Amino acid sequence: MEHNSSEFFWLTLTALLTLFLSIPYVVYRIKSGKNFASVAKKQLPDAVLKAEWAQRAVRAHANAIENLVVVAPIVLMLHAKGISTSLTIGACTIHFFSRLMHAIVYILGVPFLRIAAFMVNIASTIMLGVILLKSVCII
């Protein structure tokens, strides 16, 4: 297997998950509009979304984007430094599954599990960051 391909695989899945998280609430917005053209001309503000799950889906998607912006550069820098270990692969794998779980429980409205999934996600990102920092002898 090519160097860092496992980390890239999980990062790619995370990016695709982030993209796909917009689909449920976009479909809801289209179905809530009079027709597709009216929705395309004037987007419904998030506050106007009547279904609570749709409001949570918007927030889950935004949270996924915010987290992707943090983890992607770390994984790319690890790759640039040629660092690929069982810890980096494990952290990227955990990162993906914690993002998936976070999105599911967020949309379903299960606060305790959402917080737990988010904390696991943060821990995996911190692990990747620490590995990167150790490689440049900062810590």
| Residues 49-93 pLDDT 10s | 788 998 999 999 999 999 999 999 999 999 999 999 999 999 999
C-alpha to C-alpha distance for 18 and 64, rounded to whole angstroms:
6
Arithmetic mean of pLDDT, 89-107: 98
Q: What is the pLDDT of residue 26?
A: 85
Alpha helices in 45-110 (DSSP H): 52-80, 86-108
Domains along the chain with CATH numbers:
5-135 (1.20.120.550)
Q: Between vectors from CA 65 to CA 122 and to CA 52, what angle results, nearest 5°?
A: 95
Nearest alpha-carbon partner for 19 in 86, 74, 64: 64
C-alpha to C-alpha distance for 138 and 28, rounded to whole angstroms:
47
Arithmetic mean of pLDDT, 8-13: 97
- Percent of the chain's residues with pLDDT above 90: 71
Residues 26-48: tens digit of each pLDDT: 888 878 765 555 455 555 555 56
DSSP structure class, residue 33: S
CB atoms under 10 Å from CB of 92, counted, come to 27
Higher pLDDT, 116 or 3: 116
Higher pLDDT, 127 or 34: 127
- Tell me the pLDDT of the chain averaged across its residues: 88
Q: Please, is 91 exposed, middle or buried when counting C-beta atoms within 10 Å of its C-beta (0-12, 13-18, 19+)? A: buried
Cα 35 from chain centre? 30
Q: What is the pLDDT of residue 1?
A: 43
